[in-house]
Structure 1
Amino acid sequence: MAASPRKRKKTAVKSSAKAEFTMLGEHTERAASPAEARLETAANPHHDSLYLVRFTAPEFTSLCPVTGQPDFAHLVMDYVPGKLIVESKSLKLFLTAFRNHGAFHEDCTVMIAKRIIAAVKPKWLRIGGYWYPRGGMPIDVFFQTGAPPKGLWLPETGVAPYRGRG
């Protein structure tokens, strides 16, 4: 007989910056849709410094809005924080909310960028959505808020042009 899972009291986790996290350190169900998902933030401990934060999601999935078939992408999200940073667990849960969401590649990629912008108001952001082929053609979608800040070290995305990615 399998042991029953421990019941944990739902509590808010607090960071040193006095941010309140409701997902971090807790079992959290995936939101039913991206619109229902919440991005949590924390105060940027180095808001006076110019630096880049990169999140990479090599196994992002959504659904084709026409056929309902799964679509797969490798996302690279770069941003220069202002006063806030994105809490990574909430970002992961936000991204998994797309698994049952039907939208075109362009919509998914730009929607993710706009949600990050709304949550943390970064000094700069770019996202590369490297989508695996649909109908034999890869569709890559790129979005950025403007020119990168002067003096920013901006590494390559690390995603090669399509040649049977994998």
Structure 2
Amino acid sequence: MSEKERLNDLTLLSKNENNYFTSPDDAPLEVFDNLYVGRDYKITFNCPEFTALCPVTSQPDFGKITITYIADKKCVESKSLKMYLFAFRNHNSFHEEVVNRILEDIVAVCDPREITVYGEFMPRGGISLDIEASHKKES
């Protein structure tokens, strides 16, 4: 397979895309082939300016999302991930739901060997929340 053919399915990276999605349901997570399937290596994404809306008050909640995974056959393309995470800005969800939703959506598109999603949310009402969700592929 040629380099161009390998990257044909990446629709967001090749565009100067600035139409942001209003829901993670609408934001496609794109993947590409992992050329190093025989090796375990960690990929870490940091989103230090994550925002979602409180499901009760609709006020913004701010936090940092860190995603660390060991790819299997597919890797998550970073611009599609960025746009997916931006889609939470207008999405009402509890912090626990956000972290687990991100984990489940990434597992669904790339089936990594291992993944951990860590959310570190800013204090609201005098208390902060840190949430960690993990998944390990069965051998």
TM-score (norm 1): 0.77
State the aligned residue count: 135
Superposed CA RMSD: 1.7
Higher strand share: 2
Q: Name the structure, 1 or 2, with higher relative contact order (CA <8 Å, separation 6+).
A: 2
Report how far residue 143 of structure 1 moved: 0.4
Matched residue type, 2:10: F
Q: Contact (CA 8 Å) 1:19, 1:41: kept in 2 or not?
A: no
Partners of 2:62 and 2:126 in 1: CA distance: 13
Call closer, same or farther: CA 1:15–1:117 in 2, change over 3 Å.
Answer: farther
What is the percentage of aligned positions where both structures have the same residue?
38
CA–CA separation in structure 2 for the residues paired with 1:34 and 1:140:
21
- Answer 1 or 2: which has greater helix percent: 2
* Amino acid paired to 1:114: E
Q: Which runs of 5+ in 1 are unaligned?
A: 1-13, 148-166
Moved over 6 A (4+): none
Distance in 2 between the 1:98 and 1:61 partners?
6
Q: Identify the match of residue 20 of structure 1 among 6, 9, 16.
A: 9
Alignment map for 1:1-166 (pairs within 5 Å): 15=4, 17-28=6-17, 29-146=19-136
| Per-residue CA distance 1:96-137 (angstroms, 9 max, x = gap) | 000010100001111011101001000000011001111110
For the pair shown, which has the larger CA radius of gyration, 1 or 2? 1
- Separation in 2 of the partners of 1:122 and 1:146? 8
